[in-house]
Amino acid sequence: MTSTTEILRETAARLLASGAVEMVIGFRQGTIPMMNEPCFVRKPAEAGLLVWDSHCGINLANYVTDRKEKKIGIVAKGCDSRNLVTHILENKIRREQLVVIGVPCRGMADKRKIAMKCPGEILRVHETETAITAEGEGFTRTFEKADVLQHNCSLCTHRNPVIHDELAGEPVEEQQGVDRYADVRAVEAMSPEQRWKYFEDLLAPCIRCYACRNACPLCYCPTCFVDESRPQWVGKGQDPVDVRTFHFLRAYHCAGRCTDCGACERACPVGINMRLFTKKLEKDCLELFGWEAGLSLEVRPALDHYRPNDPNDFIR
Amino acid sequence: MGIEPGRLQFSWISSAESTKFVTVAAQVTEAVRALGPNTRFIKPLAEVA
Amino acid sequence: MRMLLIDRRAWQEGLKRAAGQYGLIGPVKEKEFHSFRPLKPGEMPDLAFQNSRLSPKHVVYPQTEPMFAYTLDEAREDRHLLKEVRREIPPRAVVGIRPCDAKAFVLVRLNFDTPDVQDPYWLRAYEATTFIGLGCNAPCSSCFCTTAGCGPFHEEGLDLLLADLGEAFAAKVLTPKGEAFARTAGWTAEAPAGAQSAFQERARAAEGRITSFVQTDHLKSIPVNDLYNAPFWEEVSFSCINCGTCTYSCPTCWCFDIQDETRGKSGVRLRLWDSCMYPLFTLHGSGHNPRGTKLHRVRQRFMHKLKYFVEKYDRGIQCVGCGRCVRLCPVNIDIRRVCNMMNGFAVSGEACAIP
Amino acid sequence: MRNPYQPYPVRIDAVTVETEDRNLKTFRFTFLDPGDEERFAYRAGQFAELSIAGKGEIPIGIASSPTEKGFVMFTVNKVGLVSSHLHTMRAGDVMGIRGPLGNWYPWERMEGKNVVIIGGGFAFTTLRSSIVYMLDPQNRGRFGEIHVIYGARTPGMLLYREELAAWERRDDIRMHITVDATNDPGWKYHVGFVPAITEKKAPPAGEDTFAIICGPPIMIKFTLPVLEKLGYPNDRIIMSLENRMKCGIGMCGRCNIGKEFVCKDGPVFTLEQLNRTPREY
């Protein structure tokens, strides 16, 4: 069987050699275990840099925002492709600029989960189709991939790219019967006081590095509201009120747009699950408007238009 | 997000519906008054000695 | 230099005793990882860690710190005048700080304590603090301290350096501050020759376990504009998302912002960490931005640490090799790789051939 | 330890609108504590942070001259949060000044030499300071010929118009005032961009002549080649830079060009220095 990596390299080399694209955006082997780095290749000879494994979690749609190249090849798993759709709908890139090299995805590994399950520092990792093996000084641990997926990947119902011009591998079976919102329902069931406290604890470690915001392909505003000075919407310090305002408003700006790609949570250096906020909005969008972001280039997003059957009665 | 129910309310009032605006404003004011002063999203700041 | 032997009991009792005169700050495991924070009465530092997730620089340099307070109340005589907020800092000790993080304060001091101006907030906090280091018996694979002017048992910036010998600590007394702390803690037992050599042995073994290195020998001599204009910056900066993780987790990053926050009629002028990764950091009022692209900003971070600092102070690189930015970068930008690229950079064969 | 972030309290003494678009105002300050005036001893070319509680600080070049006693003066363009608020303030209001900050024009090196001052737009403030300083009876004899080339978009956008006129009448300073364009039939000075006027009017280059240049980036971009063509050596071309600043004392890390901080090692640099460093300004 040909590996995804090989197909990607062959596809990238072919697209670059034929002049179909000026660059291909993908991943190269990282410098530490369980980490690959987004990169670009411009020459067919460089296509050998590209890799694919369970550590390609970063959402590459982030890297095409406002790019000027006429033709860009981009490697896209399910969530990346949904964010490309959103990018196209929001005029951050044109469909004609993209040659989407879709990768059917079986989910990305959660490196923290794996690290927590190992007795020491992980020095080497390798994987098969269904298992990941981590090795360190004096230990070897093998995990079923399904047990160490990122939380969002374990709940993912759109693993196959929704748009693609090339496909690196056979489509995978989509997960059925997934309960996507158990965590959100648990928070919804809390009293306002409990909820206040819960979020206070959740956000306490935040250092406001904005990795969550910047890792998110949706956050492309030239000046983010937290950086505005006239008026200054939110204080810049570590006061919990400012931290909370930042996280809530950031989430609201993703309403009806978030694909739960997990970029924010993965990027966070202090392990905050801020996906809880965006998932609540995602759940509401689904329940109120039957809307899931980034599935179609034809349908306008839920927050983008009005329908007479809007469930909110105050608006009629 | 842990704000008490009733402290934040939404209404849709056309610019022509002046009486509705008055009624809603009065209702909201009363409702918030009943809740008492807000304790959340309030920042403490150092006082000048 | 004096070396003490502190057995487990003396360690616990000593810290309890010292807590009467020093505010103790130490590594504590919260949720997944360790961080440095003030220890509660009776709480012991948890030394079963490789290093804290974030650097302990906040101990001296809080992320948000009031500098001045003011009133805008027109009825008051002192309206619109800034009054210094003096953080009273009683003596305190950071217990279990890693040598790299202590050395980092020495580098940062070059910025805040200059011959003609001193930053009173940073200096007061630094001077009130005793640093009790814990040598790294088991450095991480991403630690590159030995080639970053530091090492797992490096002494610079520490007052006491402990080696964990299993049943006891051997503690090297490095400064009068360290001596005073040991006296307060009641640690008086001189280390016997065996413990002394065990200390040396641990230090040597730890250095041998470092597997990651950077080359820095050419950084100083390569002309600054050559490095600045080097062709690799597009490739280096491509994956950067311009978050502040690297700078906020770095023990040697010191850049800050100053902001006024007013509520009602009173307010404070705050000093806050800032980051060269943010576009706003250098944005002019006119809208012009001298570092307007992420390429500019990524280049600034590396050039500052690995070139400007080297030239300015002649004290090596502005990095202690703790590896945090390598481990925490969400997109795997690796300072070791960039450092080696910079160090190995020559404009062209001809440029080298000029006698 | 003196707190270098603590501003001296000052009172606004007078506010003058300088330009027809009303975006530039000159503020004259007096120190609440007279002793602070001595502590604020400065040289022409330095700047200070104007500090408004609740708004923040802005770095502004000192427009008054060290030879002018009893006050300090700043001309401020309305751009951001702090400058906009400052424009609403009036005589009698209290605020702060922190400084003096940065270096100054190389007065020692320029002693006995000819000086040509080239300025554009509202960047004329420390140049005014320099002119007043050099024209002071105590100092005039210490310099050779003084030329001033100063341009603005229109006559109404020139700063310090009365002083410009007074300098025009003197015979110990050669003024070359210009505007980009005007439909004022009474305009009796030059029309044209600063680089063109520089080419025509700048004194010959040589070891004994320094050029001080301060203005918008576009003016600098086109004036530098003119000076080089005229033969001005790079170490005789003096420039004053601007960058976003916060601390003003070389600590906060944002205004650097290479290893130099514009706020502390500058704002005054020779072109020779700038050629040796990344030009991120």
Residue among C78, C83, C263 whose CB faces B45 most closely? C263
Domain count, chain C: 2
Residue C92 has pLDDT above 80, yes or no: yes
Euclidean distance between CA atoms D247 and C224, whole angstroms = 25
Residue among C78, C262, C266 whose CB faces B47 most closely? C266
Chain C, nearest residue to D98 by Cα: C82
Residue among C32, C244, C280 whose CB faces A112 most closely? C32
Last residue of a domain, one of C209, C238, C267: C209
Mean pLDDT of D2-6: 93
Residue among C224, C288, C291 whose CB faces D258 most closely? C224
pLDDT computed for residue D136 by the predictor: 95
Count of other CB atoms within 10 angstroms of residue A116: 10
Q: What is the DSSP letter of C39?
A: P
C16 with C155, same domain: the answer is: yes
- Report CB contact under 8 Å: C85, B45: no
pLDDT computed for residue D143 by the predictor: 94
φ and ψ at D31, to 5 degrees? -80, 135
C327 with C281, same domain: the answer is: yes
Place of tokens 């056309």: B14
C172 with C240, same domain: the answer is: no
Give yes or no for B33 touching C (CB within 8 A): no
Count of other CB atoms within 10 angstroms of residue A129: 8
pLDDT computed for residue B45 by the predictor: 62
Residue D151 bridge partners (DSSP): D120, D178
- Tell me the range of A138-142, C84-88, D1-5 where mean pLDDT is highest: A138-142
Chains that touch B (3 or more CB pairs under 8 A): A, C
Place of tokens 């509705």: B20
pLDDT in tens, C130-178: 999 999 999 999 999 999 999 999 999 999 999 999 999 999 999 999 9
Residues of A in contact with B40 (CB under 8 A): 196
Count of other CB atoms within 10 angstroms of residue A69: 16
Whether the CB-CB separation of A72 and A91 falls below 8 Å is answered with no
- pTM for the complete prediction? 0.93
Chain C, nearest residue to D80 by Cα: C285
Mean pLDDT of C67-79: 92
Sequence-ordered list of residues with C-beta below 8 angstroms from that of C204, at least 6 positions apart, any chain? none
Euclidean distance between CA atoms C165 and C71, whole angstroms = 56
Share of chain D above pLDDT 90, in %: 86
- Report CB contact under 8 Å: C332, A30: yes
C161 with C55, same domain: the answer is: yes
Whether the CB-CB separation of A243 and A206 falls below 8 Å is answered with yes
Mean pLDDT of A281-310: 88
Chains that touch C (3 or more CB pairs under 8 A): A, B, D
Residue among A39, A121, A235 whose CB faces C239 most closely? A39
pLDDT computed for residue B9 by the predictor: 82
Euclidean distance between CA atoms A204 and A95, whole angstroms = 41
Whether the CB-CB separation of C344 and C336 falls below 8 Å is answered with no
Chains that touch D (3 or more CB pairs under 8 A): A, C
Mutate to test the interface with B, among A188, A194, A196, A313 (most CBs of B within 10 A): A196
Residue C71 lies in a domain: no
Mean pLDDT of D171-176: 93
Share of chain C above pLDDT 90, in %: 89
Sequence-ordered list of residues with C-beta below 8 angstroms from that of B18, at least 6 positions apart, any chain? none
pLDDT computed for residue C355 by the predictor: 36
Closest CA to C162 of C309, C340, C320, C11: C11
Residues of A in contact with D58 (CB under 8 A): none
Extract the tokens encoding C40: 């509660």
pLDDT computed for residue B1 by the predictor: 75
Q: Count of C–D CB contacts within 8 Å?
A: 122
Residues of D in contact with C274 (CB under 8 A): 252-254
Place of tokens 């002049």: A19
**DSSP run (H or E) holding D233:** none
pLDDT in tens, D178-214: 999 999 888 889 999 999 999 988 888 888 999 999 9
Whether the CB-CB separation of A241 and B41 falls below 8 Å is answered with yes
Residue among A37, A237, A271 whose CB faces C32 most closely? A271
Instruction: Determine the longest span between alpha carbons in chain A, in angstroms.
Output: 67
Chains that touch A (3 or more CB pairs under 8 A): B, C, D
Whether the CB-CB separation of A38 and C238 falls below 8 Å is answered with yes
Residue B49 has pLDDT above 60, yes or no: no
Whether the CB-CB separation of D150 and D120 falls below 8 Å is answered with yes
Mean pLDDT of C51-68: 94
Asked, as a colleague might, if the bond just before A231 is cis with ω within 30 of 0, I would say yes
Residue B46 has pLDDT above 60, yes or no: no
Scored b (16 or more CB within 10 A) or e, A4-21 reads: bbebbbebbbebbeeeeb
Share of chain C above pLDDT 70, in %: 97
Residues of B in contact with C261 (CB under 8 A): 43, 45
The model's confidence at residue B39, banded by pLDDT at 50, 70 and 90, is: confident
The ranges assigned to domains in chain D are 8-100, 107-240
CATH 3.40.50.80 applies to domain D107-240: yes
Give yes or no for A38 touching C (CB within 8 A): yes
Residue C216 lies in a domain: no
Euclidean distance between CA atoms C233 and C293, whole angstroms = 11
pLDDT computed for residue B47 by the predictor: 52
* Alpha carbon D16 to its chain's center: 17
Mutate to test the interface with A, among C332, C337, C338, C340 (most CBs of A within 10 A): C332
C21 with C142, same domain: the answer is: yes
C21 with C161, same domain: the answer is: yes
Mean pLDDT of C215-233: 93
Mean pLDDT of A164-173: 94
Residues of A in contact with B5 (CB under 8 A): 192
Extract the tokens encoding D195: 């680089």
- Report CB contact under 8 Å: A314, B11: yes
Closest CA to C152 of C35, C27, C335, C162: C162
Mean pLDDT of A163-169: 95
pLDDT in tens, A149-158: 999 999 999 9
Asked, as a colleague might, if the bond just before D203 is cis with ω within 30 of 0, I would say no
Sequence-ordered list of residues with C-beta below 8 angstroms from that of A36, at least 6 positions apart, any chain? A27, A28, A29, A30, A51, A53, A55, A56, A58, C332
Closest CA to C213 of C346, C55, C50, C340: C340
C177 with C240, same domain: the answer is: no
Give the N- to C-terminal CA distance of chain D in Å, as an integer: 32
Residue A304 has pLDDT above 70, yes or no: yes
Residue A269 distance to chain C (closest CA, Å): 6
C190 with C277, same domain: the answer is: no
C147 with C13, same domain: the answer is: yes
Place of tokens 């102070």: C313
The phi-psi region of residue B43 (left if phi > 0; otherwise alpha if psi is between -120 and 50; otherwise beta) is: beta
Residue A289 has pLDDT above 60, yes or no: yes
Mean pLDDT of C205-214: 94
Mean pLDDT of A198-224: 94
Residue among A192, A197, A315 whose CB faces B3 most closely? A192
Q: DSSP per residue over C46-91, as a string?
A: ----S--SS-GGGGTS-SEEEEEEEE--TTSTTTT--EE-------
C131 with C236, same domain: the answer is: no
The model's confidence at residue A314, banded by pLDDT at 50, 70 and 90, is: low
Residue D145 has pLDDT above 70, yes or no: yes
Whether the CB-CB separation of A275 and A250 falls below 8 Å is answered with no
Residues of C in contact with A123 (CB under 8 A): 141
Residue among C238, C248, C336 whose CB faces A209 most closely? C248
Residue C227 has pLDDT above 70, yes or no: yes
Q: Which A residues 213-232 touch C at CB under 8 Å? A: 213-215, 223, 227
Residue B48 has pLDDT above 80, yes or no: no
- Report CB contact under 8 Å: B2, A199: yes
pLDDT computed for residue A305 by the predictor: 80
Euclidean distance between CA atoms C326 and D6, whole angstroms = 38
Assigned superfamily of D8-100: Translation factors (2.40.30.10)
Last residue of a domain, one of C209, C240, C269: C209
Residue C245 lies in a domain: yes
Mean pLDDT of A238-267: 94
Residue B20 distance to chain C (closest CA, Å): 33
pLDDT in tens, A50-72: 999 999 999 999 999 999 999 99
Asked, as a colleague might, if the bond just before A205 is cis with ω within 30 of 0, I would say no
Residues of C in contact with A34 (CB under 8 A): none
Q: Provide residues of A within 8 Å CB-CB of chain B.
A: 192-199, 235, 239, 241-242, 244-245, 248, 314-316
pLDDT computed for residue C346 by the predictor: 79
C138 with C228, same domain: the answer is: no
pLDDT computed for residue C349 by the predictor: 43
pLDDT in tens, A97-142: 999 999 999 999 999 999 999 999 999 999 998 999 999 999 999 9
Whats the size of chain D, residue-wise? 281
Chain C, nearest residue to D217 by Cα: C288
The model's confidence at residue A307, banded by pLDDT at 50, 70 and 90, is: confident
Residue B7 has pLDDT above 70, yes or no: yes
- Report the amino acid identity of residue C266: S
The model's confidence at residue D96, banded by pLDDT at 50, 70 and 90, is: very high
Extract the tokens encoding A164: 């693609």
C121 with C261, same domain: the answer is: no
Euclidean distance between CA atoms D211 and D113, whole angstroms = 10
Give yes or no for B34 touching C (CB within 8 A): no
Sequence-ordered list of residues with C-beta below 8 angstroms from that of D60, at least 6 positions apart, any chain? D47, D48, D49, D50, D74, D75, D76, D125
pLDDT computed for residue D30 by the predictor: 96
Closest CA to C198 of C238, C154, C148, C164: C164
Give the N- to C-terminal CA distance of chain C in Å, as an integer: 48
Residue A228 has pLDDT above 70, yes or no: yes
Domains of chain A are 1-105+156-178 (3.40.50), 111-148 (no CATH), 180-316 (no CATH)
Count of other CB atoms within 10 angstroms of residue D222: 14
Chain D, nearest residue to C281 by Cα: D254
Owning domain of residue C146: 3-60+87-209
Chain A, nearest residue to C260 by Cα: A235
φ and ψ at C106, to 5 degrees? -65, -40
Residue A142 bridge partners (DSSP): A133
Extract the tokens encoding C176: 């009068």
**Average pLDDT, whole number, for chain D?**
93
Give yes or no for D252 touching A (CB within 8 A): no
Residue A2 has pLDDT above 70, yes or no: no
